[in-house]
Structure 1
């Protein structure tokens, strides 16, 4: 029998099955629910905020007095609708500012901001503030032009402060390897501006300069040039690769903005470099700043003498995975408290991630929180209290669910006055601010204005939900008293199509003792009496939380994107956070450290086998796995380290292999390479570090048994395509037959594309279920948007 005859005999997927899966596409699901997440927009220095209240057929904008809970329309919807020529019940307003009787709005789909006159409704354009300018206390702005630093006053007059900037050695410019260098090449966009910190009197600024002239220029080949040229184009991105001697060297200066005179900041020990997103001027002609190593194995709080540039290390701490928040992309859990002369610090030093307080004068350290539970995000600090989210405090609860707590800064010991302000057994979402962002509009950090807690710290908006509990949004005060209900989700649109909640599970790791939590997503036609193949969606590195906690994350979480549609094609889909991930204890985080099985694939297998004991519908003879980026690496390693369990893998943009990747990610996930005697620098271009060879899929290529699809975008600046091709070469030399999908002109962020998702569905339908997909059948949905952390 020929292969074609065998294919023809397989059951075929009907077009109606794709239509059912499309009905659960992320944007379709989001369109069927209201008020899944409410983020208040606080007015500057006020306990008032506006928010968008959603109804199934319309929405409105309300202004709320947090003290009383009183609400009223945020503006005259009819007048604004007439001014914008829009439907008053569906106004596409993205941002809103009050300016006397006028309002200034940003409208979805339109460039710039619009001022709408409160008297006659006249609309005028408002120039956007320069997003790459740093505004000082007097209104002057620092900005970068052609690699040099300039200043602009309130009258728009400009003056050059430096004249020695050059490419790859510019003033206040972000690093070349910012994951969008190729995009900047195409548009001619300059590097982002970072790290300008004004003195309180507006006379000086702490400013960085990044020297990347000796850093490796990594080549990327644009095979389908965007300008139509028939010849490929080469783009170079400067970043340190594993084993390189040269890395970006950050220099810091205190600059007099009236004369341009500069003071050089001294060097730090332990290869520490000042971080370009956290620095605070004190009242004593000094600057408090944070510093870390490129490998993220050491961090410090330092003091800089602005007059001399001398640096004093106030507190230094080593940890092979040191971050000032457990999770990447979240703002650091550090706050400068000028009135107290203290700095709140974050550390696993006690065995769990907790808050500490550093006395800046003496460097002494005292613990603010303690216990067998995990601090997650530091939300706000007022004169007396620190407010933070934490998980695992209440016995018996899912340790990943967030609750808001308050602790007294003046207590005699850890947990002084510790109080839970959100008692419900649910997730209380306080969306974090992405790390390093700065609101230059009002000159304060954005958590002051787009946080669930008011600028004063007296009130907060509580988004209460779970993956299996529809959201209710409450307004509460800083003592936890409920002022009133703001909104309630309407999920009738989801229930009307038979959508079902994800199921939360608790399982055991390979040691038989450690708890693993995760979720299962099932198709709408699921029946316990039937047998269903199992797919795992995996991520797994030590600094990201993968599983969903809130209802919104359960619909469209960062790593759950598209899983409801995938399950609808006839699978039970599992997503979990196994040992090696954050938000638990240090021991849990470090269980896989130093092992070839760095992402703990054996624990993922053990958890699936454990939950299958009480779920006989799970067919463990048909198991597949998929993941993107670090999840792509985990997928490949699962296929190689547990080949008798995972039969089919779909790995996109895998970070392969550690030895051929850029250092920032690899060293944070795997530690520094050791080429012998602790040496972390290669002597020859082909020298390999033995500890990294243990982590490389190339080492295990001969163990592949099942079907493996490898997907990559040829312009992926996060996971280098040549590293993947080198792994393909290892598979070919081992006599293996991988499948390969190349996505031309794609960077790292193609997973929301319908084409990609359709290929993912079809691969598992064909090789796990043994059915014939409907080929050349484009989906009728449009590109979705992955929800980032909530």
Structure 2
């Protein structure tokens, strides 16, 4: 036993020494100024090379009127576009025409030579025998024979536009616009508001009938609509509130010597809203009934849904301010009494923009999508009894409803997290019966999918990829799900020849030690395995979505920044959407959290796996909500983050837009708004901070940044500020992105970027 113990100690000693020796080889990457100049030059060359590569991540099918054939354009070498014809019924694909010959033919006809790489077709139609085409080039139409490329000028062609990317059924907005007068469905009556009161009169003439007398210019009745049987009017007693203005100054308008003051209406958290009190008016007995006992104090007037063939009942939707209650309310027209068909309450929030309701009037049913069981799923609601039946179920997320087939009683939708063994954010497309049976996956292949259908839905095009796996684009039969043809599969040889490193998908446990946190990693093309590199996180932690790329997208700003000598990452931490309700709820009254507890653990796990990851030098950047997050990193987590670039940040949720901030921070505005404000916490700043703001930002008021600047100055803090005259909601554009890179080079690589005022360049 003693010999074994000695042996273990010796092995342990040598193993430890070996590990130490291996780790000691890895030294911080700290480039000289000359190396830095060369790195910038290399980045510019790579960026230029990438832009010239004929990469096709997706196609746009242009379906012909028969619904069986389509054409699409494809980028090829030298920035030329080639065009392909596909017959879905026959499974045939071929070049639509020779691009050079067609360009020559039309150039000869117009008398202006057209280089093949300048010939771009925007519309194209085949004749019945496919021997001739009509195409549009430079706003002119031409008719061309495909056998001999003889072309003639042609008149405009009218065609029915079809957008293959849109859902089959467009979602209607739940809040209607104002109506000042309204003709009854039977065309017998006209209703109108006059001097703040409601009137009707017969269309063919006659005396006015006045329904109300208590309306006024200050509190008028309005927003009129009719019951289907023309026996009832619905209108609202309105208590208006003017939306307050925010201001900005354009400081550098050409041809002027003075700044120009601009303003626009802008609701902020806590602002008062116009309220609407609903009433019913009977044409037969001239009566007035109050609907229920609640005013509508949030959003505007709702859409009304009358029961099919029955003007006795209608429903409307109500979201309570604070986003903690959603109702579908039924109203009895004869009495004005109300009943809640759907009444959802939560202790956190209901995501208003993702509430989905589809009314099926003939069967008195509602398709409703909700997170009430902890995951976003679909329910079938009986409008008469209020019974609710779960259609989809499980630990996965219904992301969007494409369409509802009433005849077949099927729902077509996309979802994520359903297919085991995959990234839980990958989108797949499905259909399912109203009874929750016969779930069909239209996209079973691993990857993130995007689907578009032919006009008659007999065929669909499925494009799928992963962030580091090239896209495949296939044509499939909707009924059989069989692949008809592979249309495209991106070749990566030219891309990889540039030396680029494809991004890595990395997964680590979150703050609870259970939940997987997903992110992506970009590395320099010329990365030296014996060096450790600073990390830069691209952050956007807005709770309204998830943000880490899932489809093939290796050429982007993160990849470009990495080439300067950084490891660049993006992470979706807790508090963002598209996972469980519990995952999302972390943001409630808690936007400043921004998932940092998960992000820091993720980065530590990355560093534990790869010694080239230097988490003693971590930077972070973001725009808008990401600007709030990146500045917050230095205020609330300075022990980990050392440098931040914050563009047009919402530095105080009370200054930003009402509809976004109350959704997550709640209503009324409480002390937590102040406690989480970057402005309130400006005195905590550690590390290096750069702020970017456009002076004409109409999304997040510029004063959000300026007030943060004021607080930093009052706390005697050092920071950089870039103000962009005339710019709106932006990351700074090309100049701002350049300054951002220079900032990280200085503060994380301890190097100087090019001295551009002296036209300093790399020495070849």
| TM-score (normalised: structure 1) | 0.72
**SS of residue in 2 equivalent to 1:698:** coil
Going from structure 1 to structure 2, the CA distance change for 1:47 and 1:197 (only over 3 Å counts) comes to: farther
Going from structure 1 to structure 2, the CA distance change for 1:162 and 1:754 (only over 3 Å counts) comes to: farther
- The Cα offsets for residues 253-295 of structure 1, whole Å up to 9 and x where unpaired, read as 99xxxxxxxx999799574657799888885487876554565
- Residue matched to 1:438: none
Residues 522-531 or 285-294, more deviating? 285-294
**SS of residue in 2 equivalent to 1:668:** helix
- Residue matched to 1:439: none
1:657 to 637, 652, 657: 652
1:344 to 367, 375, 388: 367
- The Cα offsets for residues 366-423 of structure 1, whole Å up to 9 and x where unpaired, read as 21111011122223333343222222222232101122222122x2xx4x22232222
Give yes or no for contact 2:268–2:656 (8 Å, CA) kept in 1: yes
| TM-score (normalised: structure 2) | 0.74
- Residue matched to 1:679: none
Gaps in structure 2 of 5+ consecutive residues: 1-30, 145-150, 162-177, 184-189, 197-222, 281-287
- The Cα offsets for residues 713-754 of structure 1, whole Å up to 9 and x where unpaired, read as 011111111121111222222221121110110101355x22
Residues 205-214 or 280-289, more deviating? 205-214
- For 2:41 and 2:195, how far apart are their aligned partners in 1? 56
- For 1:457 and 1:264, how far apart are their aligned partners in 2? 47
Give yes or no for contact 1:324–1:346 (8 Å, CA) kept in 2: no
Indicate whether 1:397 and 2:422 are aligned: yes
**SS of residue in 1 equivalent to 2:654:** helix
- Cα offset, 1:496, TM superposition: 2.2
- Residue matched to 1:59: 81
CA RMSD of aligned residues (A): 4.7
- For 1:54 and 1:70, how far apart are their aligned partners in 2? 20
2:728 to 747, 758, 766: 747
Give yes or no for contact 1:208–1:250 (8 Å, CA) kept in 2: yes
Matches for 1:610-625 after TM superposition, within 5 Å: 610-625=605-620
**SS of residue in 1 equivalent to 2:703:** helix
Going from structure 1 to structure 2, the CA distance change for 1:217 and 1:164 (only over 3 Å counts) comes to: farther
1:769 to 736, 749, 757: 749
Give yes or no for contact 1:714–1:744 (8 Å, CA) kept in 2: yes
1:385 to 410, 418, 427: 410
- For 1:239 and 1:638, how far apart are their aligned partners in 2? 28
- The Cα offsets for residues 58-97 of structure 1, whole Å up to 9 and x where unpaired, read as 3334443434433466689738945786556654344667
- Cα offset, 1:691, TM superposition: 1.7
- For 1:337 and 1:44, how far apart are their aligned partners in 2? 30
- Cα offset, 1:361, TM superposition: 4.2
- Residue matched to 1:472: 472
2:249 to 200, 216, 221: 221
Going from structure 1 to structure 2, the CA distance change for 1:15 and 1:148 (only over 3 Å counts) comes to: farther
Going from structure 1 to structure 2, the CA distance change for 1:216 and 1:106 (only over 3 Å counts) comes to: farther
Matches for 1:60-99 after TM superposition, within 5 Å: 60-71=82-93, 78=102, 81-82=106-107, 86=114, 91-94=119-122
Give yes or no for contact 2:275–2:295 (8 Å, CA) kept in 1: no
- For 1:228 and 1:265, how far apart are their aligned partners in 2? 58
- Residue matched to 1:46: 67
Going from structure 1 to structure 2, the CA distance change for 1:270 and 1:544 (only over 3 Å counts) comes to: farther
- For 1:567 and 1:306, how far apart are their aligned partners in 2? 64
- The Cα offsets for residues 440-473 of structure 1, whole Å up to 9 and x where unpaired, read as xxxxxxxxxxxx1234443221112101100110
Count of residues paired in the alignment: 656
- Cα offset, 1:40, TM superposition: 3.0
- Cα offset, 1:53, TM superposition: 3.2
1:247 to 273, 277, 280: 273
Going from structure 1 to structure 2, the CA distance change for 1:730 and 1:163 (only over 3 Å counts) comes to: same
- Residue matched to 2:600: 605
- For 1:739 and 1:663, how far apart are their aligned partners in 2? 29
Give yes or no for contact 2:46–2:498 (8 Å, CA) kept in 1: no
- Residue matched to 1:367: 390
**SS of residue in 1 equivalent to 2:555:** helix
- For 1:224 and 1:196, how far apart are their aligned partners in 2? 46
Give yes or no for contact 2:692–2:736 (8 Å, CA) kept in 1: no
Give yes or no for contact 1:291–1:302 (8 Å, CA) kept in 2: yes
- For 1:545 and 1:585, how far apart are their aligned partners in 2? 12
More RCO (CA 8 Å, sep 6+): 1
- The Cα offsets for residues 474-518 of structure 1, whole Å up to 9 and x where unpaired, read as 112234321211112233331221122110000122332221000
Residues 521-530 or 497-506, more deviating? 521-530
Going from structure 1 to structure 2, the CA distance change for 1:103 and 1:516 (only over 3 Å counts) comes to: same
- For 2:116 and 2:416, how far apart are their aligned partners in 1? 41
**SS of residue in 1 equivalent to 2:584:** helix
- Residue matched to 2:532: 531
- Residue matched to 1:717: 698
- Residue matched to 2:449: 428
- Residue matched to 1:501: 502
Task: Return the index of the structure with the highest Cα Rg.
Answer: 2
- For 2:339 and 2:624, how far apart are their aligned partners in 1? 39
- Cα offset, 1:247, TM superposition: 2.7
- Residue matched to 1:582: 577
